Amino acid sequence: MEKNIKIAIADDHNVSIEGITTILNCLDYAEVVFVASNGKEVIEKLETIVPDIILMDVQMPIMDGIEATKEITRCYPQIKVIGISYFSDQIPYIQSMINAGAKGFVSKNINIKNINDMITNILNGEIYFSPDVSALIFRSQQNIFDKTKILSPKEREVSDLDHEGYSNKEISDELHISKKTVENYKYKIKIKEIANKVKNKFGKFLK
């Protein structure tokens, strides 16, 4: 793992900040470079220090995590934003953060293994959901998954190019679609991959 991964936390609950900071301090390759209590404060602090990853609460005063993520994605595309919330059981929060540009979503009761997996996946260019969020997504998508079973033709095209190492911009140029559309396709593909893995492992219990 690369040393000195710079991480920022945006959350208006001190208990959450303390808990996540304690976990991150156990990782010798990660450093918490700043904390903020709302989206506006995050954006202001980015003028002096730019982290690799921001753990972004969804509901905050002044500017919420969704609006802040949109702004950060536009102005600092190199930063990986991860949604965090106690409301991991509400799909709209997850969808809104992903649509805003977040690279994943985790609940605030994550443990050190989840944090380590999250950082590894995100820095490798993957979307990451903590296990409880993945299970929720699967449950919400189960009926859709049962009907589709396979990727759509366009999803297959995006998936093939992605596996060949094409960047989002290169996929966009190749398929004549916007980068945002590419990101949305990759999100849908990830959802189906999660559903497929869970179904293959636990299918006999999902009758």
CATH code of the region 149-202 = 1.10.10.10
Phi, psi of 20 (to 5 degrees): -70, -40
- The answer to whether the beta carbons of residues 77 and 46 sit under 8 Å apart is no
- CA–CA separation, 105 and 132 (whole Å): 10
- Calpha distance 109→90 (Å, rounded): 15
> What integer pLDDT is reported at residue 191 of this predicted model?
75
Phi, psi of 10 (to 5 degrees): -115, 110
Q: DSSP for 146-178? A: HHH-S--HHHHHHHHHHHTT--HHHHHHHHT--
Give the pLDDT score at 207: 38
Give start-end residues of each CATH 3.40.50.2300 domain in the chain. Answer: 5-134
Q: Tell me, what's the pLDDT at 205? A: 34
DSSP of 46-77: TTT---SEEEEESS-SSS-HHHHHHHHHHH-T
Amino acid at 198: V
49: Cα separation from own chain's centroid:
21
* The domain over range 5-134 is classified in CATH as 3.40.50.300: no
Residue ranges, CATH 1.10.10.10, the chain? 149-202
Q: Of 49, 115, 58, 108, which is closest to residue 83 (Cα–Cα)?
A: 58
> What pLDDT sits at residue 42?
97
| pLDDT of the chain, 207 residues: tens digit per residue | 556 899 999 999 888 888 899 999 889 899 999 999 999 999 999 999 999 999 999 999 999 999 999 999 999 999 999 999 876 557 788 888 988 999 999 988 888 888 999 999 898 888 888 888 877 776 665 555 443 456 788 888 888 888 778 888 999 999 999 988 998 888 888 777 766 655 554 443 333
